[in-house]
C-alpha cells in the first residue's frame, strides 16, 4: 500500500495559501544518500518548526511537510496527490521545495528551479554554511564551483526542472513554482545495496556538512515563503531567463530556414519581459506604501501564483498528456533534464532527425 504522510502548521493570516517542502522516504535497499539525506533535511525542518511553535510562533501562510511514498517506483505518491487535488493545489499552493538527494557529495551545489526562485535562493545560500572549509557560505562555494564549470555565466547556475523526482507533477501538471535542492558529485553506489550509512558518512558527506547546508537553505526559503507579506518570488527573473534562453538559441535560424514566422514568438517574449518589469515596479511601490491594504498584497501575490498556472495547457504537450507546462517541462530527448518551450524545441529536434518529414506537432 502506498502512503503519503503530511505534517501541517496552519497559517495565521493566510491559512488558505500553502507552502510545501517534501521528500520521498522509499528507497532502493538502504538508500542512505537517496533519499535519506533528504529525509534528514525534512525531519530537521520539522524539528525546527516544532521548537518555534512551542515559543508561540505561527506562520502567515500554512506550511505543509510532505513525506511521499513510492517515488522510486515511478513518482507515484506525489503524482497521485497532485492528480487527486489538482483544483485545490492550483488555488492554494504558493510554492513547492523538493529535497530528494540532498547530498551525494560536498562540492557541487546544483539546484534546479523555476526561474522566479533565483533571488530567494541566493539570499538563503548566503546565510547557509559552506560544506567545504575554504568557503564561508554555501553561496560563495556555489558561485566558485559553478563559474569554474560554466565560465560564461555571470551568476551561479540554476538548472531547469525536468522529471525524476517529486516536484515533477507540481510543475508539469499543476503549474506550481518549484525548486529541487541537491549537492552533487560522484555517486558510485546509486540504487545499490552499497548506498548505506558507511558510504554516506565516509565518502559522500562526512560530518553531514552538505546535508546540513541544504537543510539550512530549504528552511530559510520555507520561512520567507511562509511569513513575508508579499511572496518573495521574482517575475523578472523568470521573464529575463526565458527571453535570454530563446534569443541565445538557434531557434530563430531554424524556424526562418523553413519559412516559419519567428516574429510572433519574439513579440510575445518582449511583452512578457515588459509585463514582468511592470509587475515588479508596482510591487516595489507597494512595499514602500505604508498605507497598503491587505487585499492589495493578496492581489499581487495571486498574480505571481497565477503567472505559473498560465503556462498550463490542459491537453498536454504533443503525445505527452501528463506534461502540461508549455514553458518548462522535461525534454523528450532526456526526461531528467528540463527544456524551455519543450513542445517547440522537441518538435524541431524530431523534424531535424527525420529530415523534416515529421515534427511530432499535432
Select which of 1, 14, 71, 288 is catalytic: 71
Let me know the angle formed at the C-alpha of 63 by 60 and 67, rounded to the nearest 5 degrees: 175
Active site residue 71: yes
**Burial of 327 from C-beta contacts in 10 A (0-12 / 13-18 / 19+):** buried
Give me the DSSP letters along 264-320. Answer: HHHHHHHHHHHHHHHHHHHHHHHHH-TT--HHHHHHHHHHHHHHHHTTB-TT-BTTB
* 193/182 Cα distance (integer angstroms): 21
**How close are the terminal C-alpha atoms of the chain, in Å?**
38
C-alpha to C-alpha distance for 156 and 308, rounded to whole angstroms: 23
Peptide bond into 334 cis (omega under 30): no
For residue 218, what are the contacts with CB-CB under 8 A and spacing of at least 6?
21, 41, 45, 97, 99, 181
| Rounded Cα distance, 241 and 117, in Å | 11
Q: Which residues contact 105 (CB under 8 A, 6 or more apart)?
A: 183, 184, 185, 186, 187, 204, 205, 210
> Hey, which residues are catalytic here?
71
Amino acid at each position: 500500500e502506498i502512503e503519503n504522510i503530511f505534517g501541517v502548521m496552519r497559517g495565521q493570516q493566510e491559512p488558505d495559501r500553502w507552502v510545501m517542502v517534501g521528500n520521498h522516504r522509499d528507497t532502493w535497499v538502504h538508500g542512505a544518500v537517496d533519499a535519506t539525506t533528504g529525509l534528514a533535511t525534512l525531519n530537521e525542518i520539522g524539528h525546527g518548526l516544532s521548537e518555534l511553535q512551542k515559543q508561540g510562533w505561527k506562520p502567515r501562510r500554512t506550511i505543509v511537510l510532505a513525506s511521499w511514498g513510492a517515488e522510486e517506483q515511478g513518482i507515484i505518491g506525489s503524482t497521485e496527490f497532485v492528480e487527486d487535488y489538482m483544483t485545490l493545489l492550483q488555488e492554494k499552493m504558493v510554492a513547492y521545495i523538493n529535497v530528494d538527494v540532498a547530498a551525494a557529495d560536498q562540492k557541487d551545489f546544483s539546484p534546479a528551479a523555476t526561474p522566479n526562485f533565483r533571488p530567494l535562493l541566493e539570499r538563503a545560500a548566503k546565510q547557509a554554511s559552506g560544506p567545504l572549509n575554504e568557503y564561508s557560505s554555501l553561496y560563495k562555494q556555489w558561485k566558485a564551483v559553478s563559474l569554474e564549470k560554466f565560465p560564461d555565466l555571470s551568476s551561479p547556475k540554476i538548472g531547469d526542472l525536468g522529471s525524476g523526482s517529486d516536484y515533477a507533477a507540481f510543475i508539469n501538471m499543476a503549474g506550481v513554482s518549484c525548486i529541487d535542492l541537491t549537492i552533487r558529485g560522484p555517486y558510485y553506489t546509486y540504487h545499490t545495496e552499497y548506498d548505506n550509512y558507511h558510504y554516506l558518512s565516509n565518502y559522500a558527506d562526512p560530518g553531514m556538512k552538505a546535508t546540513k547546508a541544504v537543510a539550512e537553505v530549504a528552511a530559510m526559503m520555507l520561512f520567507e515563503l511562509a511569513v513575508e507579506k508579499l511572496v518573495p518570488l521574482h517575475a523578472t527573473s523568470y521573464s529575463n531567463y526565458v527571453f535570454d534562453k530563446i534569443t541565445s538559441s538557434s531557434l530563430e535560424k531554424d524556424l526562418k530556414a523553413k519559412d516559419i514566422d519567428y516574429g510572433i514568438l519574439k513579440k510575445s517574449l518582449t511583452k512578457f519581459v515588459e509585463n514582468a518589469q511592470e509587475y515588479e515596479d508596482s510591487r516595489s511601490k507597494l512595499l514602500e506604501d505604508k498605507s497598503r491594504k491587505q487585499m492589495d498584497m493578496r492581489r499581487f501575490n495571486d498574480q505571481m501564483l497565477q503567472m505559473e498556472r498560465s503556462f498550463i495547457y490542459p491537453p498536454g504537450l504533443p503525445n505527452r498528456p501528463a506534461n502540461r507546462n508549455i514553458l518548462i517541462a522535461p525534454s523528450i530527448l532526456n526526461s531528467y533534464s528540463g527544456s524551455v518551450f519543450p513542445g517547440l524545441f522537441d518538435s524541431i529536434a524530431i523534424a531535424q532527425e527525420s529530415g523534416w518529414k515529421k515534427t511530432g506537432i499535432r
